[in-house]
Structure 1
Amino acid sequence: MEGGSDAAAERAVDAATVALSRYEFFRVHEEPLGERPTFGSGPTAAAARLHESDRPKVLVCRSTKAYRRLALCVPRPGERTVDIGSAYGDATALMAEAAGEDAVLGIDVSKHFVDQSSAARPGLRFERLDALEDPALLAREIEGSVNVFVDIGGVRAAEALVRLLPAVAKSAAPSFIVVKCEALHDAMADAEVPFEGLRGATTITRFTVPERERSNGGANGVDDCDTDCGSSDSRWRDAVAVTASSASPVFWRKTCEREVGNVRARSAFKRAHVARSARPASDLFARYPLKYPPRFVRGDVEICRFHNYSADGCIRREKFGMCMFDHEHCHWCGEHGHRAWECEHAVKAHQSAVVDDGLAPAAAPVRDPNDGTANGVANGTANGVVDGLANGVVDGLANGIDEGLAKVSLAQPEDVYVYVAGGRNRGQTVGVTERYSLRRKQWERGPHIADPRGSHGLAAANGVVYAVAGGGIKSNLATAEALHAVADHASTAWVPAGVVAEARHALSACNTGDWGVCAIGGWADGNSCTGAVDFLDLRTDPTSTTWRSLAPLITPRKLHGAAGLPDGRLFVFGGRIGDHGGPIAGAEAYDPTSNEWRAIRPLPIGACACACVDGSDEGKGTQYVYVATWGADNPEGNKSTKRGGKDPRVGEAGALWRYDPDADTYERVCGLPLPEWYGFAMCAFDGWVYLIGGSTAGRWTGAAFRRRVDQGGESEWEELPPMKVVRRRTAAAVARAGLMRK
């Protein structure tokens, strides 16, 4: 099998297949939706009541439209219904309309989504929970559910479903499992038997639900009858809810065989990674304690998660003799006198949810769905970040920077360079470094990054370029590397420069003058954004490799722009807060005196963005922050796609903005020089803003442009020679060569 042929893989496939052996799989047709379709050639469509069957069903749809239609027609009044991946709660609200508010629960991994949906829909209950990583908690929440809806998205959705759907079937045995997954839907379509000339062709079923007739002439859909809904005088008809094709009985097994290898590889990675980052008290709960949702007793007293899940217990109480959190109650069941890893209820729930050890909870950090790569994470095994740390990244910190500097010759003529390092090249993560000489006006090759990375951060301070975190070849990276900017790189190399608190990609990095570097936000664990802010302080030790944490962002985000000023202030603009919905316009500013973030005026439009500050402006009055938003160069964004229909990025207008941090105002400078430009890098120097790389109109590019932006000297975009290696999701920074560290 593709996923591996060893005995453990076979057992995992068998277990995942058996867990859903009672279920019939159907591929929901997208069009026509909710109408009585007509068919030409092929078998006649059968008609069936959606809820009248001896076997439970898995309904797989492709679009949000179909998913929401099913949210209205599948649940019946009073049926317990769970929405896994509820996001802002739009589909959950439709389920509540059908089943009743008290019967519906929304589950999402993102705290932001849970907070927003709870505030917008106070009559519904939403819980923060990682359905993939917390099977025992999920089993407790979905027990007794008649309908379970699943919309978890992501780049590994089919693989994740091989883990999640068997757990749902085993722990809840719902009558309906409704899944929104493009990959699974397309695979089902590809596996269907063609109609013409073949026997045993795929059966097409027109599922109906009872619906009260409405008058064609009635306004606002008023009922045809004058009596109450329950009256025997009410007239009913069978309205078409969905039209679906039945899947082959072996389809699900084939899917498991294809995906189970990736599932088990991520399990290996996760166990190795967790074992080094936080020693769990038991294999039952192997996640980092703060990954579990907070729980409270006595109203508002939070139960200590370290006490409940860490083998070392609560370090705060061990070191300081006290902890503000509760140490008397079980975080899992809430009862008094034991910890979660000792909880009998948790053990039973875990046993009821985990189908096979090969499908146990685990998920290595993966690439962002929008990063343009095609291959995903190659074998996310324990060889990723963990092996990188074990093989000398940490051990090399003591001498890495110093050894790298010892090789530097400072006798070369001084120059200023725009460095571009790493990125994605047609689905591959690259470590190529190129730099553009502002004096010679040409590109030249630099040393290769030790750990190739994309969607990372790049910043320069005191003549040293730092590459921070990002998506590596096999997994997210937590490591940083440094390269001293010199005129001749023949004898230099990237050297280890510390480890940030959280492995992640889709982050932004910036410098605070020549004395500090920051790594901000990102996509942390494959299914949620982080607000983590890491700071490398170079004031007392320019060779420091010790990163420390600052206050986290108010709104965790990814694909945002970030810039820092020499006074220590930081600014963050736009980005995304998850895979659902479009980019946000929200912006934040960091005050170094109070170690706090505050909201500032949002961008004029929601967009993913880059940001930078012209460091050469220091001491010349107001230092502006320049923000470049990704997108099409028109106010309405990109209106169409290759497949037709509306592009979800509509409104992402690409433009260059000037932000005044003192006045808290934006000024639109101009549009972008390329159409539909996404994933490019940005930096500034001596009154010029540089935009480099990315993809334009769907094609990778090595293009580079600059524009004069200092007031009084503005110009049009000037096209520079392109980079040798086309790439997107790269990063850029300006560094002056030949500076000795002070």
Structure 2
Amino acid sequence: MKRMAMAFVAASLLACEDSALDDCAPGLDSCAGTCVDTRIDWSHCGACGRACGEGIGCFGGVCTSPQPMSIPRSGHGVVVGPDERIWALGDSGMPSPTGASEAYDPSTNHWTPLPALLEKRRDVLVAVNLRGAVHAIGGQRLNVPLDTVERLDVSAETWTNSAKLTSPRGAPAVAVGRDEKIYAAWGYSELVGEPTIVPTLDVFDGLKWTAEPAPPPEVIPRFGAVAVGAEDGSILFLGGCKTGAALGMTAVDAYHPDTKTWEPLPALNFPRCAAAAVVAPDGRVFCFGGRDASGQESAAVELYDPAEKEKGWQSAASMPEPRAYMGAVAAGDGRIYVVGGWVYPNSLETTLVYDPATDRWAW
């Protein structure tokens, strides 16, 4: 009798499991007891059990490499647009920038053209305004830093000029805060000889930019830092450069918009200038590549969990190849896309894809 009862319970559990598996959301399939999207799942690509090999990702249900951009880019802006595609804006365009832009659709693994920027610029950082517009902010053209900002609405086909920064900023650190404001810190205002660093932080509320006071002495203004908006509402500024040699720094500082105060955070393990940083879907912060203390491009990756500050920065899987002056974003599929960049002596057109859940790369 006891065995019969146990068998009944086991059968009931299996029935419940089968019922749960039958309840996968539309677009998902049941594979190995888990609901997965076979269009993008690297272990079940196109069909259950069809795993993609090392260095290969799953795009549109096909195991393949991520498509490169149409042209090499470095010093460009990368952002997830309102259409959920990954936008790459501007480029170094040696000997001068071109303003050419394009967008990548992870579901089709294809890049397609976007409207060119009004002003040909490089060292441009971009941010998505939460009201559905993309902003291309600052940068420089022919070694002249810019205070101009361009805006592209989701329904528009051309860029328009937006409110200007309070001062020209080449290679600023830019992020969107949880308060739906854009924060642009530091950068350089002169690039003749040693760069002249802008000490202030500009804040855009959707109408105008205002300059916040310079940070306290322990926070070092720099150019070539990267910024991310953390889940707690703070803005994190990572790495950067102090001199024209573009040698990396390890400093990490948090700005708290609600109190307008700064807080030092655990330093990076590796000096980084012109790196890329992203907040993953689980709230962890990843920092990729950049130029190290000797000025060499790096492939190193590290991560920081704001919920576990005491652990500091931890190592993650290195990029397949070193690079600096690239862009990176977290896309809707939960993965991080590292786009373009520079490794001496060339700009890069390649797209790298990182899965933070498995610590694995596709290239």
Calculate the TM-score normalised by the size of structure 2.
Answer: 0.69
Query: Counterpart in 1 of 2:52?
Result: none
Which of 337, 341, 350 lines up with 1:690 in the alignment? 337
Query: Counterpart in 2 of 1:626?
Result: 286
Alpha-carbon shift at residue 567 of structure 1 (Å): 4.3
2:307 is the counterpart of 1:662: yes
2:192 is the counterpart of 1:548: no
Query: Counterpart in 1 of 2:362?
Result: 718
SS at match of 2:92: strand
Alpha-carbon shift at residue 658 of structure 1 (Å): 1.4
2:162 is the counterpart of 1:497: yes
Query: Counterpart in 2 of 1:611?
Result: 277
SS at match of 1:662: helix
Alpha-carbon shift at residue 578 of structure 1 (Å): 1.6
SS at match of 1:663: helix
Q: Which amino acid aligns with 1:458?
A: V
Aligned equivalents of 2:134, 2:169: Cα separation in 1: 19
CA displacement 1:491-535 (0-9 Å, x = unmatched):
511111211111021112111247121212211223322232111
Q: 1:449 to 1:415 in 2, by over 3 A?
A: closer
- Calculate the aligned-residue CA RMSD, in Å: 2.5
Aligned equivalents of 1:701, 1:581: Cα separation in 2: 19
Contact 1:415 1:437 in 2 (8 A): no
Q: 1:662 to 1:530 in 2, by over 3 A?
A: farther
2:108 is the counterpart of 1:440: yes
Aligned equivalents of 2:277, 2:209: Cα separation in 1: 22
What are the residue-to-residue correspondences of 1:148-159 with 2, within 5 Å? Answer: none
2:139 is the counterpart of 1:470: yes
CA displacement 1:239-271 (0-9 Å, x = unmatched):
xxxxxxxxxxxxxxxxxxxxxxxxxxxxxxxxx
Alpha-carbon shift at residue 438 of structure 1 (Å): 2.6
Query: Counterpart in 2 of 1:456?
Result: 124
2:358 is the counterpart of 1:679: no
Using CA pairs under 8 Å that are at least 6 residues apart, name the structure with larger relative contact order, 1 or 2: 2
Alpha-carbon shift at residue 715 of structure 1 (Å): 4.7
What are the residue-to-residue correspondences of 1:272-671 with 2, within 5 Å? Answer: 415-462=83-130, 463-473=132-142, 475-485=144-154, 492-513=157-178, 515-526=180-191, 527-537=195-205, 544-553=206-215, 554-565=219-230, 567-579=232-244, 582-608=247-273, 609-614=275-280, 617=281, 623-631=283-291, 648-649=294-295, 653-664=298-309, 665-671=312-318
Aligned equivalents of 2:139, 2:223: Cα separation in 1: 11
Q: Which amino acid aligns with 2:123?
A: S
Calculate the TM-score normalised by the size of structure 1.
Answer: 0.35
Give the total of aligned pairs.
274
Runs of 4+ in 1 over 6 A off after TM superposition: none
Alpha-carbon shift at residue 420 of structure 1 (Å): 0.8
Contact 1:372 1:427 in 2 (8 A): no
Alpha-carbon shift at residue 552 of structure 1 (Å): 3.2
SS at match of 1:549: strand
Contact 1:680 1:693 in 2 (8 A): yes
Aligned equivalents of 1:581, 1:519: Cα separation in 2: 19
Contact 2:328 2:339 in 1 (8 A): yes
Query: Counterpart in 2 of 1:129?
Result: none
Q: Considering fraction of residues, name the structure with more strand.
A: 2
Q: Which amino acid aligns with 2:84?
A: V
Q: 1:672 to 1:511 in 2, by over 3 A?
A: same
Gaps of 5+ in 2: 1-72, 76-81
Alpha-carbon shift at residue 605 of structure 1 (Å): 1.3
Q: 1:610 to 1:435 in 2, by over 3 A?
A: same
SS at match of 2:189: coil
Contact 1:449 1:494 in 2 (8 A): yes
Indicate the percent of aligned positions where both proteins have the same amino acid: 20
Q: Considering fraction of residues, name the structure with more helix.
A: 1
Aligned equivalents of 1:555, 1:566: Cα separation in 2: 24
Contact 1:501 1:534 in 2 (8 A): yes
SS at match of 1:451: coil
Q: Which amino acid aligns with 1:549?
A: A
Alpha-carbon shift at residue 602 of structure 1 (Å): 0.8
Gaps of 5+ in 1: 1-370, 374-413, 538-543, 632-636, 638-646, 720-742
Q: Which amino acid aligns with 2:116?
A: H
Q: 1:497 to 1:514 in 2, by over 3 A?
A: farther
